[in-house]
A and B are shown apart, each in its own frame.
With several copies, the nearest count.
Chain A
Amino acid sequence: MSTANKPKETSYIEAISQALWEELERDPSVFMLGQDIGDYGGAFKVTEGFLDKFGPERIIEMPIAEQGFIGMAIGAALMGMRPIVEVQYADFISCGWDQIVNVAAKMHYRTRDAVPMVIRGPSGGGLRAGPFHSQSPEGWFAHVPGLKVIVPGTAHDAKGLLKAAIRDDNPILYFEHKYLYRRVKEVLPEEEYVCHIGAAKVQREGSDLTIVTYGAMVQTALLAAEKAQSSGVSVEVVDLRTVFPIDKETVLNSVAKTSKAIMLYEDTRTLGIGAEVSAIIAEEGFEHLDGPIIRVSAPDAPVPFSPPLEDYFIPQVEDVLAAIDRLSAY
C-alpha cells in the first residue's frame, strides 16, 4: 500500500508543540518562560524552532528560579499577558509551590482579577528516571481551589486542552505525561479545535464495569479492557482529562450504567485523584453500586529508580485485570 495518501499521525509531544505554536501565532499576548526553551528548544525539544519564529521577547529563557519566574508570570498575567511557564520536569514545580497556591490560586477570589496563565511540565514515570524526575504532582494541585489541573491522555486532547488552557482566564496546571510523548500518536483534525476543560471523555464504551482514569493510565486501561473483553467482561474507560475540577456527570453516568467502578491512577494511593472520584461515587452514585470501588494505583512511596521496582510501583495491565476479576465476582 502506498503511504502517500495515508493521513499523517501526530505524536503527543508534537501535538503539544503545535498547540503552543498556534496560540503564539494567534495571540500576541501569549509568551513563554522557561529554562533552555530558546536556542536549545527545551529539555524535551517541545519548543524547537520557536525562538527563530517568535524571537527572544516571546520565548524567554529563565535562570533556575521557579518561585521567582512563576511569580513573574503571575504579575505579567495580571497585566493582561498570557504567560506559559515551562518547568523542565514537573517535579521542579515544587520550588514554585508558594506562588502558585497562595498568589495565583487565590487572586481572583480576592480581587476578581484574572490570572490567565499556564504552567506546564513533563510528569509521570515509566522512564527509569527515579524519584526526582518521575513524580505526578497533579494530586497536590487538585486540592487547591482556584486552580484547574489538566493531564491529557491522548495526542488529540493534549493539543485541544492546551489550547483551551492558554485561552482560559484562570491559572492552569497542565501536566504532560512524558511517557506518552513519543509513544502515542493519532491523526488530528486538520481544522483548528479546542477541547472543553472540565469535561471527561468515554474513551471506550462498555457495560459491565467502569474504569475511571487519566494520563498514561488511559493506555493501560484500554489494554486491560481489551483483554477483559476476550474473557467476556465489557469495560468502559472514562478518561477524566481534567482532574480538577472533576466531571462528575460523566463519571456518575458511567457508573449508573455499569454499577461497578475501578479507579486507576499512576499517582500514589493516599489522596491521589482516584480517592476523590471514589468519594464522589460513594456519595452521589452509591445507589448504583453493586460492589466496592476498587483503587488500582501506585503505592505510597517515592517513585523508585530501578526497573523492577518501578514496574512494581506503576500499575500494570495485570493489576487492572486482577481488579476487574475481583470486581466481576460481585
Chain B
Amino acid sequence: MDVKPIEPGAKELQDMYYYMRLGRAIEERLELEYKGGKLTSAIYLGRGQEAIEVGASYALEPGDILAPTHRDMISQLPRGLTAREVFTNHYARANSLTRGKGEASYQGDLKRGLFATVSMLPDFYPVATGAALAFKLRGEKRVAMPLCGEGATSRGDFHESLNLASVLDLPVVFVVINNGFAYSTPPFKEMKLSDVAERAHAYAIPGVVVDGNNIIECYLEAKKAVERARDGGGPTLLEAKTMRMRGHAGHDAAKYISKELIREWAQKDPIDRFEKHLTNQGLLDETGIKDMTERVTQEVAEALKFAEESPYPEGQEAITDVYRQ
C-alpha cells in the first residue's frame, strides 16, 4: 500500500489545501441556499473547522473508515465525497447517496470508507470501534476514525467505546473536535476538565491535544495516531481545539457567542493560516489562490445546478429498502 508520509510533502499539502477550499466553498453556497429558503433541511456548518476536518481525514488511507457527525461534511471530501453528492443529498434528490431517505448531512459510502452517521451523538463511536474490531479479527491493517464534538463526550457511548477499544486493543483514532460549543452550551457546562483529551487516562490510552486550526499539526498528530493504531498500538484520543464560526444550525444566529470571540478566532482562520504557510513554502502564490477560487467556485456551481436539475424520488420509494432482501 502506498501510505502517505508522516511529514506531508508538496502533493499532500496541495491536496489538503484544495479540500479545505472546496469545503468552505460548498458551505458558503449551502448557507446562501438555506437563507434563500431553497433547502427543506437543516444545515450544520463546519466553518472554521476545516483544518481538523481535512487534516484528520486526510491522514487515513483508502481502506480505512471515517465516521463523521452532522457537522463534518468537510472531513468526507478527502475520501471522495463530491460537491454533487453534498448538494443532491441536501436537496433530497433521488440520485443522492441516501436516495432522499436520509437527512441532508447524514450520508456515507462504505466503498469509500465513509460511515453514514445518525443524529444521536456519539453513536458512531461504538460503531466505528466495531469496524476496528472486524479489522483486527481479520488481521487487516486498517484503521477506524470516528469524529465527535466536545459536547458528545458527555454521553455514555463515548465512555463505553473508548473502554472497549482500549480493552480489546483496537485500531481506532477517536477524534474530538472541540469547537467551543454544543449548540448553545459552552464546555464548562458539560465538563469540569478543560481538555477532553485528559479523559484518555481513564482508558490507559494516549490523549493528544492539537491546535485545530493548524492543519499541519492536525495532520501530523492524526497521522501518528493512525499509523500507531495500524501497527497494533491501539487507540488514541485526539482533541482538536477550534471554533464553530457559525450557529449550531442554519436557523441559529448564535447570539450567545460574543462578537469579540468570533473576531479573535477569525484571526486564526485555518485557511488563511494555511495559505500563508504554503506561500512561505513557495507552494502557493496569488495566482494559485485565485485559480483555486475559480476551481472550487465552478465545481460548486456545477454541483448545485446538477442537484437542482435532479429529480425527486417517487413517493412510493418511501417503502423500499427497509430490508435487505
Contact = CB atoms under 8 A, between A and B. Distances in A.
A170 B324 contact: yes
A65 B155 contact: yes
B157 A63 contact: no
Given A81-B134, A132-B118, A72 B126 contact: yes
Interface string A21-56: 000000000010001100110010000000000000
A64 B184 contact: no
A83 B104 CA distance: 30
Contacts of A141: none
Given A57-B137, A62-B164, 16 more contacts: A61-B189, A64-B182, A74-B127, A75-B127, A75-B132, A83-B130, A98-B123, A102-B118, A109-B321, A109-B322, A129-B41, A129-B42, A132-B119, A146-B323, A300-B322, A309-B100
A299 to B, nearest CB: 5
B98 A111 contact: yes
B93 interface: yes
Contacts of A64: 121, 151-152, 154-155, 182, 190
A117 B137 CA distance: 16
18 contacts: A63-B185, A65-B160, A67-B160, A68-B161, A75-B128, A80-B134, A81-B134, A95-B155, A99-B123, A108-B323, A111-B102, A111-B108, A131-B101, A132-B118, A299-B319, A307-B40, A309-B100, A312-B318
B322 A74 contact: no
Interface stretch (B19-27, B209-217, B226-234, B309-317): B309-317
B102 A63 contact: no
B163 interface: yes
A169 interface: yes
B123 A68 contact: no
Contacts of A178: none
A103 B118 contact: yes
Given A69-B164, A109-B321, A305-B98, A63 B154 contact: yes
Contacts of A114: 324
B313 A65 contact: no
**Which of B120, B130, B189 counts the most chain A CB atoms within 10 A?**
B130
Contacts of A146: 322-323
Interface residues of B, number: 73
A68 B131 contact: no
A299 B104 CA distance: 22
Contacts of B324: 108, 112, 114, 169-170
A63 B318 contact: no
A83 B138 CA distance: 13
B322 A132 contact: no
Contacts of A299: 318-319
Contact of B123 (A62, A71, A170, A306): A71
A68 B98 contact: no
Interface in B275-325: 312-319, 321-324
B56 interface: no
Interface of A: 31, 35-36, 39-40, 43, 57, 60-81, 83, 88-89, 91-92, 94-95, 98-99, 102-103, 106-114, 128-133, 145-146, 148, 169-170, 299-302, 304-313
B115 interface: yes
9 closest residue pairs by CB, A with B: A75-B130, A71-B126, A68-B160, A306-B100, A312-B315, A130-B103, A132-B119, A72-B130, A306-B92
Given A65-B155, A65-B156, A67-B160, A75 B131 contact: yes
A304 B100 contact: yes
Contacts of B109: 111
Interface of B: 40-42, 65, 92-94, 97-98, 100-104, 106-110, 115-116, 118-121, 123-135, 137-138, 144, 151-152, 154-157, 160-161, 163-164, 167-168, 182-185, 189-191, 256, 312-319, 321-324
A304 to B, nearest CB: 5
Given A76-B130, A78-B115, A108-B321, A308 B312 contact: yes
Contacts of B151: 63-64
B166 to A, nearest CB: 10
Nearest to B130: A75
Nearest to A61: B189
Given A145-B322, A309-B315, A72 B164 contact: yes
Nearest to A114: B324
Given A108-B323, A128-B92, A132-B118, A71 B129 contact: yes
A305 B41 contact: yes
A42 B137 CA distance: 21
A110 B185 contact: no
Contacts of B185: 35-36, 61, 63
Contact of B323 (A131, A170, A310): A170
Given A71-B161, A94-B120, A132-B118, A306 B93 contact: yes
